[in-house]
């Protein structure tokens, strides 16, 4: 591990403690800390106070910053801190010198055209760095050259399209910055440069002369885009190259980028039909997910996982935990009722300080001028047309948070019931460590390659939708059982919870995932391509978010879950629950309230 990474880890020791046994969660927290440092740099250099990184994606005012140049994605495992600083400096220059609205208006339609146009605009803004900032200039140069070295070491140089884009990037960078090309890149691109030089020479000169005029610069950039588009004979081959990079090249660097979708905008399948390209891609990706065997999987009620004496003890402990909290649950219920659908008028409440004047109190106005309770108001009661499912991650790293999270879930469930919503509380884990019986079965079959998910999943029902909280206390108490917390396959758990919800009659369905990190199951991780479970979770989440049937949210404990979920909230686990935490959850739900 690099020295700068160790320094950052030392500053994170308190927050990482407890998840130290899971290196993947440790790296995620390191990544998020580095992003916070880089975001502070961007804000300071650009003057854009609302800039943040969210799931490695730059945002301004909570919306995508629309900055997608490929060399601005340094990798924690491959790059130095100077690379991250160089990317941050480049983003700051982009925010400072580029008109995003104009850039989007001029954006070409083709995938390659969008990639090139984005790259050229980024290089334009980087060329405007002041001579009074030699450190920034060095950071920018270091980052671009480092990206070039990674490109040259990747498989993408072996296909003509990738080499063509890289050639444009190299030639444009040299022209705009007046810096020399490194020898490795020069040798690599020379044949391609000779082929396209006569077509783009005038446009390159025009770009260099107009770096301070975005509109004129863009016209020359579009000429280059048009030339490259015309050199691509087979548009189908174009799409194939973009969407199907090899595993090695995808792991080593990011060049070909899909058109970005704003993480805060709704994707709706309605109106686009089943032939939607995006939907087809998601379904195709999900179909590629393999499960070695389901024979050892389990769906079970929580009460069946503990002895009666244990359940009694868990219930007492949970009651004591709730007693120590200072949450105003009736108030929380009223606030939830205001954002849940299907309210109906009920009978009147009298002697109120505001509302409609109560005719029966008119005499009181005369006889007692200071008396204020002369109004009546009509009480609103929810009609129970909303289902909220709370899905708890029972992975090993969540064990240390079990008391706090079970308390949060209990309070939320109680408030939701008081607000008239139907509630269900579910959990997901594995029956054993290291794959259990499924792994042994795979071993007996001589270890076939890429077996897919290779473990025994356990899906737990703490409280079903037809049972009131008062009658589900024993099951809810089982959330405190320590040996339930093992490993986690998040994507399948989401599908299971969603399937249960779709069988219910409620019109509004809300699924809230409570987790502290990425999916992790050791047997599957060791026997399949990297990020196998991560990718499946992203695909499932995207599919659910693309559907109008279920609203998907996530609460991340000590970790930002936005790389997986579009609507997420990062929470710190307090020793004692506070109303402010529930206010944040309310705000998250209110943004999409019907």
Residues 512 and 394 reside in one and the same domain: yes
Which of 262, 259, 257, 254 shows the shortest CA–CA distance to 278?
A: 259
In degrees and rounded to multiples of 5, residue 63 shows phi and psi of: -115, 155
Measured CA distances, 269 to 75, 276, 481, 548 (Å): 33, 8, 41, 7
436 vs 248, more confident: 436
Query: What is the spatial distance between Cα 84 and Cα 81, in angstroms, rounded to a whole number?
Result: 5
Domain-terminating residue out of 210, 245, 280: 245
**Does 54 map to a domain?**
yes
Q: Which of 20-34, 82-96, 193-207, 574-588 has the highest mean pLDDT?
A: 82-96
Say if 20 falls within a structural domain: no
275-332 residue pLDDT tens = 344 455 555 566 788 999 999 999 999 999 999 999 999 999 999 888 888 788 999 9
pLDDT tens column, 545-580: 887 789 999 999 888 888 899 899 988 877 678 888
Q: 148 φ, ψ to 5°?
A: -65, -40
The total number of structural domains in the chain stands at 3
Report yes or no: 582 and 339 within 8 Å, Cβ to Cβ.
Answer: no
| Residue 118 near residue 69 (C-beta atoms within 8 A) | yes
Whether residue 370 sits in one domain with residue 450:
no
Identify whether residues 309 and 375 lie together within a single domain: no
The residue count of the chain comes to 594
Q: What is d(CA 377, CA 259) in angstroms, rounded to the nearest whole number?
A: 51
Least Cα distance to 425 among 394, 398, 389, 470 occurs for 389
Comparing C-alpha atoms, which of 131, 127, 103, 98 is closest to residue 117? 103
Residue 446: CATH number of its domain: 3.40.50.410
* Predicted structure pTM score: 0.62
Tell whether 329 and 211 lie within a shared domain: no
Q: Are 322 and 227 contained in the same domain? A: no
Q: Looking at the domain assignment, is residue 236 inside a domain?
A: yes
For residue 109, name the pLDDT band (cuts at 50, 70, 90): confident
Mean confidence (pLDDT) of the chain: 82
DSSP 368-417: -TT----EEEEEEEE-S-EEEEEEEE-BGGGGGGHHHHHHHHHHHHHHHH
Question: Quick one: 350 and 447 in the same domain?
Answer: no
**356, 238: one domain:** no
Cβ neighbour number for residue 40 with a 10 Å cutoff = 13
**Rounded distance between C-alpha atoms, residue 181 and residue 195, angstroms:** 18
Mean local confidence (pLDDT), 37-41 = 92
85 Cβ contact list (under 8 Å, min separation 6): 38, 41, 139, 143
pLDDT in tens, 222-252: 999 999 888 875 444 444 444 444 334 333 3
Q: 411: domain range?
A: 298-335+383-538+549-556+566-590
Q: Clarify whether residues 124 and 219 are in a common domain.
A: yes
The answer to whether residues 366 and 387 belong to one domain is no
- Please state, in angstroms and rounded to a whole number, the distance separating the CA atoms of residues 328 and 579: 8
Nearest-angstrom CA–CA distance, 340 and 386: 7
């Amino acid at each position: 591990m690099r020295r700068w990474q160790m320094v950052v880890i030392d500053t994170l020791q308190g927050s990482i403690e407890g998840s130290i046994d899971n290196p993947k969660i440790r790296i995620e927290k390191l990544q998020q800390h580095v992003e916070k440092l880089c975001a502070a740099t961007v804000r300071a250099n650009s003057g854009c106070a609302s800039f943040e990184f969210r799931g490695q994606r730059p945002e301004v005012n909570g919306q995508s910053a629309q900055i997608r140049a490929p060399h601005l994605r340094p990798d924690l495992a491959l790059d130095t801190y100077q690379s991250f600083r160089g990317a941050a400096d480049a983003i700051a220059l982009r925010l400072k010198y580029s008109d995003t609205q104009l850039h989007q208006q001029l954006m070409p339609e083709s995938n390659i055209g969008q990639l090139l146009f984005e790259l050229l605009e980024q290089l334009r803004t980087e060329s405007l760095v002041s001579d009074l900032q030699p450190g920034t200039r060095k950071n920018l140069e270091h980052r671009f050259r480092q990206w070039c070295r990674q490109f040259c070491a990747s498989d993408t140089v072996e296909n003509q399209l990738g080499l063509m884009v890289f050639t444009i990037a190299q030639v444009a960078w040299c022209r705009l910055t007046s810096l020399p090309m490194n020898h490795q890149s020069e040798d690599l691109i020379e044949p391609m440069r000779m082929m396209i030089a006569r077509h783009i020479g005038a446009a390159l000169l025009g770009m260099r002369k107009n770096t301070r005029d975005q509109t004129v610069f863009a016209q020359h950039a579009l000429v280059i885009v048009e030339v490259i588009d015309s050199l691509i004979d087979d548009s189908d081959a174009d799409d194939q190259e973009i969407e199907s990079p090899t595993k090695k090249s995808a792991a080593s660097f990011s060049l070909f980028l899909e058109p970005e979708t704003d993480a805060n905008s709704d994707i709706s399948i309605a109106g686009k039909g089943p032939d939607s390209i995006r939907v087809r891609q998601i379904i195709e990706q999900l179909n590629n997910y393999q499960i070695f065997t389901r024979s050892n999987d389990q769906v079970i009620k929580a009460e069946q996982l503990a002895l009666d004496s244990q359940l009694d003890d868990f219930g007492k402990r949970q009651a004591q935990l709730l007693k120590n909290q200072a949450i105003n649950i009736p108030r929380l219920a009223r606030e939830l009722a205001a954002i849940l659908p299907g309210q109906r008028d009920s009978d009147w409440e009298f002697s109120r300080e505001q509302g409609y004047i109560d005719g029966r109190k008119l005499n009181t106005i005369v006889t007692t001028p200071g008396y204020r309770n002369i109004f009546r108001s009509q009480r609103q009661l929810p009609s129970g047309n909303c289902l909220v499912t709370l899905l708890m991650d029972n992975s090993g790293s969540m064990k240390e948070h079990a008391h706090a999270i079970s308390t949060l879930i209990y309070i939320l469930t109680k408030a939701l019931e008081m607000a008239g919503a139907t509630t269900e509380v579910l959990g997901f884990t594995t029956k054993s460590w290291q794959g259990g019986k499924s792994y042994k079965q795979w071993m007996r079959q001589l270890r076939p390659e890429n077996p897919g998910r290779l473990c025994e999943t356990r899906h737990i029902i703490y409280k079903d939708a037809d049972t009131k909280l008062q009658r589900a206390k024993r099951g809810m108490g089982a959330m405190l059982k320590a040996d339930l917390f093992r490993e986690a396959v998040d994507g399948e758990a989401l599908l299971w919870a969603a399937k249960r919800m779709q069988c219910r009659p409620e019109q509004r369905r809300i699924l809230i995932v409570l987790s502290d990190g990425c999916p992790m199951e050791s047997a599957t991780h060791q026997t399949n391509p990297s990020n196998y479970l991560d990718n499946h979770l992203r695909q499932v989440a995207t599919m659910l978010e693309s559907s109008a049937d279920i609203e998907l949210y996530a609460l991340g404990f000590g970790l930002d879950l936005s790389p997986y979920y579009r609507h997420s909230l990062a929470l710190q686990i307090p020793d004692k629950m506070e109303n402010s935490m529930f206010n944040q959850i309310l705000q998250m739900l209110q943004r999409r309230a019907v």
